[in-house]
């Protein structure tokens, strides 16, 4: 079940510090595009508030993106958190290198994303916990994304998640 997430929620803002504590999460790898912020846009005050709250509990948040360095640098500057660009998820090389540099215990790491075929598969391949955001920030995307979302929705219904 490499595509099935360990956990799911409607929006990342539903993730509370008690839940992170109960699940021994000390590092969140959060997909930027369409999980935290809409494509080609910057984030909101909701995101800033959530990031501040989570980090005040001692949990580190690192953004992940398949996007260019330029897009990710803007995100880093706006929110003051580290973010990894050109991850090429579901490939694991960039994130695996980061986890090694951080000496992260994979039992305490979770990846949050909006796509089974990139974010969740990447997390499963890395051997870390996975959380699928069921409601992407936006559904306006190229046609190929809509086809992927339709397949993803069918899988989620099959698993009784949606």
Of 146 and 161, the one with more pLDDT = 161
Given a cut of 70, whether residue 139 has pLDDT beyond it is no
Report how far residue 150's alpha carbon sits from residue 91's, in angstroms, rounded to the nearest whole number. Answer: 22
Query: How would you classify the pairing of strands 83-84 and 129-133?
Result: unpaired
Report how far residue 88's alpha carbon sits from residue 1's, in angstroms, rounded to the nearest whole number. Answer: 21
Query: What's the average model confidence in pLDDT over 139-146?
Result: 69
Give the closest residue to 29 by CA, choosing from 56, 2, 66, 3.
66
pLDDT band with cut points at 50, 70 and 90 for residue 5: very high
pLDDT more than 70, % of the chain: 96
Mean pLDDT of the chain: 91
Q: Which fold has domain 7-158?
A: Rossmann fold (3.40.50)
Q: How do residues 92-137 score in pLDDT, each as one tens digit?
A: 999 999 999 999 999 999 999 999 999 999 999 999 999 999 987 7
Of 44 and 9, the one with more pLDDT = 9
Query: What's the average model confidence in pLDDT over 52-56?
Result: 92
Ordered by start, the domain boundaries in the chain are 7-158
Enter the pTM of the model: 0.93
CA-CA distances (angstroms) from residue 12 to 9, 68, 69, 71?
A: 7, 23, 23, 21
């Amino acid at each position: 079940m490499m595509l099935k997430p360990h956990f799911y929620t409607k929006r990342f803002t539903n993730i509370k510090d008690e839940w992170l504590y109960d699940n021994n999460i000390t590092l969140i790898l959060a997909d930027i595009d369409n999980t935290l912020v809409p494509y080609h846009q910057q984030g909101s005050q909701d995101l800033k508030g959530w990031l501040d709250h989570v980090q005040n509990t001692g949990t580190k948040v690192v953004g992940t993106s398949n996007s260019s360095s330029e897009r990710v640098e803007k995100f880093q500057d706006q929110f003051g958190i580290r973010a990894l660009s050109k991850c090429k998820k579901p490939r694991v090389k960039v994130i695996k290198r980061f986890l090694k540099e951080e000496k992260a215990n994979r039992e305490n790491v979770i990846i949050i994303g909006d796509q089974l075929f990139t974010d969740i598969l990447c997390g499963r391949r890395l051997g870390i916990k996975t959380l699928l955001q069921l409601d992407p920030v936006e559904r306006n995307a190229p046609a190929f994304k809509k086809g992927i979302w339709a397949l993803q929705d069918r899988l989620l219904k099959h698993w009784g998640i949606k």
